[in-house]
Structure 1
């Protein structure tokens, strides 16, 4: 059994304890409505506010069947790049408010326009609803912006960002980069971090099985690359990719596996594993030194991808 007492430092444990005080480990046993209420309260408790100089506008993208809420962040020193941000939350939680401060800080530190996308959630909207929404958001961005687009997402949002990259890699307008933060990409659950960190703080294999089931309604979607990008047989022509994972996270192995597939297909990818960190650590970036350093790495990587600089 993994000894997290030696892997995780005191600051990170304090973050874990604070998170658990708002969002207990058994939250997946509650109703979906209760889970959302608990998650939203936790996000409010960790909200860090907006940096100076960031202007925020809430809008929507119209589709033939529904509107997709978005929130646009701009800074005074805005560069001509748009970051599409897809939030985490297991495909059942989160929205424009859950990652509001993260997106504002990403905008301030890169100078890029950041557009957060409030895609539809399960179980009300089963897969591929979330994927369809982020694809619509990407298509909207390519028609309303003349400058490059970088995809960015954490956890479930990292999955969606990668799925968009795979779906659009042969389009005339495609992303110039993707930043995937502790993403779940559909890796082999019988080995690696899935086994080593099956009972990790903040995210367990039981959690992952729950999210997988509820996203699909229990349907077998094996081989569906819009659900699991690692199921794709072709990794050619993907945009430059940066993956950052947490060591104490069952999803960590997906970062290495995805990087290897991109490089084997002749592409460019960089994977960095954050020692001693846990899933969801972005929320602890103002109280955990390791998370603060990682967020700096993330913003620098997004900045480099947006400028066409391969790290």
Structure 2
């Protein structure tokens, strides 16, 4: 059994306890409406505001069937090397433009890039592939709208959607310039690695992962569907330069390693870093946990490098 008392430091435990005070570990046993209310309240409690010089505009992308709400963050001193398309986490059932509002604002402030946050449709009202279709549609809109390259960035469920879009757009004239995947769930082999070692990790368990997948698919077996499970793809060639950041104490960590290895084996460029002693969803603790603060700086630096077209790893 994994000894989290030695792996996780006091600052991170304080963060976990504060999260649990707003969002208890048994929240998945509540109704979807109750879960969303709990999650939204937690997000408000952790909201850190906007850095100076960042403004945001909420608008929408008009697709054929429906509109996708977006929030566009701009820096007073812009860096036009790339535009960042940010895809939020939340297990495909939670979150929206407000849940990761300050993360996007800080990413904009520290990179200078314009950041576009996507409010994709959520399950169970909209089953897979609705969220994938929305993020793909948003990427295609951004590729046509912006003169600069588009960089994909997402955490958890959002990282899954970014990877799926990267696989789907390899043959497009305009493809992502890179992808930044933060503790992404890529649906790797759940019989080994971190899925076993950290099956009962604080903040995210294997039971949670199975629950979110079931809700997203409506219980339908979609084995082999790479728009759902990017690691199910048989071809990892021609993917954009990829940076993967995972947390050590997270059942999803092995997905980052496996995805890195398959891109490298196909001749691509990928870098994976596992953050020691951190847990899933640690981004919300970047202002109270030293390890999370250092990781967010790593993410900012990687986004900046990918936006410039640099490969420094």
Q: Which residue of 2 aligns with 1:68?
A: 68
Corresponding position: 1:266 with 2:267: yes
Q: Report the Cα offset of residue 248 of structure 1.
A: 0.1
Q: Structure 1, residues 134-182: CA drift from partner, whole Å, max 9, x if none?
A: 0010011011111011000000000000001000011110001000000
The aligned residue for residue 22 of structure 1 is 22
Q: Secondary structure at the match of 1:79?
A: coil
Structure 1 distance, partners of 2:136, 2:21, is 36
Corresponding position: 1:48 with 2:26: no
CA distance in 1, matches of 2:49, 2:289: 17
- Mapped to 2, the partners of 1:171 and 1:143 lie a distance apart of 12
1:230-249 superposed matches below 5 A: 230-249=231-250
TM-score under structure 1 length normalisation: 1.00
Show the 5 A alignment for 1:196-215. Answer: 196-215=197-216
> What is the match of residue 169 of structure 1?
170
Q: Which residue of 1 aligns with 2:147?
A: 146
Q: Name structure 1 gaps, 5 residues minimum.
A: none
Please give the TM-score of this superposition, normalised by the length of structure 2. Answer: 0.99
What is the rounded CA distance, in whole Å, between the counterparts of 1:132 and 1:171 in structure 2? 16
Task: Report the aligned-residue RMSD.
Answer: 0.4
Gaps of 5+ in 2: none
Whether 2:279 is the aligned partner of 1:278: answer yes
Give the number of aligned pairs: 311
Residue 203 (structure 1) shift = 0.2
The offset of 1:289, in angstroms, is: 0.1
The answer for the alignment partner of 1:301 in structure 2 is: 302
Q: After the TM superposition, which residues 126-145 of structure 1 pair with which residues of structure 2 at under 5 Å, given as runs? A: 126-145=127-146
1:243-258 to 2 correspondences below 5 Å: 243-258=244-259
- Confirm or deny that 1:88 pairs with 2:89: yes
Question: Within 2, Cα distance between the matches of 1:200 and 1:90?
Answer: 16
Q: CA deviation at 1:85?
A: 0.3
Write the deviation string for residues 269-296 of structure 1: whole angstroms up to 9, x where unpaired. 0000000000000000000000000000
SS of 2:231's equivalent? Answer: helix
1:76 deviation in Å? 1.4
CA distance in structure 1 between the aligned counterparts of 2:128 and 2:311, rounded to whole angstroms = 33
How far apart in 1 are the matches of 2:256 and 2:30? 30
User: Which residue pairs with 1:39 in the alignment?
Assistant: 39
Shift in Å, 1:74: 0.5
Secondary structure of 1:151's aligned partner: strand
